[in-house]
Structure formats: structure tokens, C-alpha cells
Amino acid sequence: LDESGDLGKLGSKFFIIALVSNQNPQELAHIVKRLRRRKLKKTIKQLSELKGNNSDKVIREYFLKQIMKTTSELHIIALNKEKVKSELFEVKDKLYNYVAGILVERAEIYKEYLHLIVDKKDRRAFIREDFNNYISKKFKEKIPSIKLDITHKNSQNDPGLQVADFVAWAAHRKF
């Protein structure tokens, strides 16, 4: 799960959260590995992370086409910030949780076990814990018997998050 855009009153008109679901995370790791080997120039290969907004058109198109060749399911929610009550922008972490909760409710993911990897955007443990509790509650309402593990990782260390970043970036560009 990754996002694109911002949750401020100003800035982008839309805020996007993308969830990439895949039974075989190695498929996602292979996309990143192949891209680094085949498409990147030597100077760029040293970058620790591939991101949609930092890449050129050739890289973006290659990356997105490769994602579509996998068995991944893409779940995206686009929040039109003009429709959000202005006081909600004061509690951005709660707004983020709420939007991510809507995505979880609507995503057609019905598994007994799910490992959700989230971009570690906030360093504060209590914010991450609040997110985990809220999302766990949403999944358990949907699938009471689910075993859910939520991990917050730096996207530099997880190819799946880099894939989710490209998906979120592409959706953000569309809106």
C-alpha cells in the first residue's frame, strides 16, 4: 500500500492510495530487478529506490506494462479533496486511515492470511499503531477469521512498495 499526492488543503486536487495485491511477491521483485538490469543507465542503477515521479517516460511505461503482465490485482482509491470537510485536514493521519479503510472495505481481497506492507511514511510509532488497529478492524469486519500482519517498511527496501508507488503515481497523474 502506497499513496500519491498530499493531504493538505492546498496542493494536489486528489489524494490517491493504491494497494497492489499479489499471491507471489517475487513477481514484483522481478519487475524491479529486470528494470534495473535492462532499462536503467549506469548512473541511475545506483539509486536505492525507483519512484514514479522521479522516472522518465520510458521507465514508467516499461514498469507499468510489466505490472500488468503479473497476477497482481490493483486496488485504487482517489479522494477528491474538494469534497472533504476542511476540519478533517487538521487530523491528516485520521483522514489517511479513513481513506485507506474505505479502500480495504471495497477491495475484493478475501484471504485467510494477509501480509500488508505499508510505506513507512511516518516515524511516530503511535500513528502507525493507530493505522494498524483501524485497518485490522476493517479487515476483520470483512473477513472475521483473517490472520493479518501489517508491516511498515521503507520503500527503498521493498520492491512491492516500489510497484505500488508507480501504480499510485499513475493513478494520480490520471486524476
10-residue stretch averages of pLDDT, the chain, 175 residues long: 92 94 90 75 55 82 90 95 91 94 89 91 87 95 93 90 93 94
**Inter-residue contact 45 to 36 (CB < 8 Å):** yes
Biggest distance spanned by C-alpha atoms of the chain: 49
Run of H or E including 117 = strand 113-119
Q: Tens digits of per-residue pLDDT, 83-115?
A: 999 898 999 999 999 999 999 999 888 788 999
Q: Angle of helix 125-142 relative to helix 92-106, nearest 10 degrees? A: 30
Residue 75: what pLDDT? Answer: 96
pLDDT at 43: 46
Q: Where are the alpha helices (DSSP H) in the chain?
A: 25-38, 42-45, 57-68, 92-106, 125-142, 159-174
The pTM of the full predicted model, rounded to 2 decimals, is: 0.88
Residues pairing with 152 in the sheet: 118
Euclidean distance between CA atoms 142 and 149, whole angstroms:
16
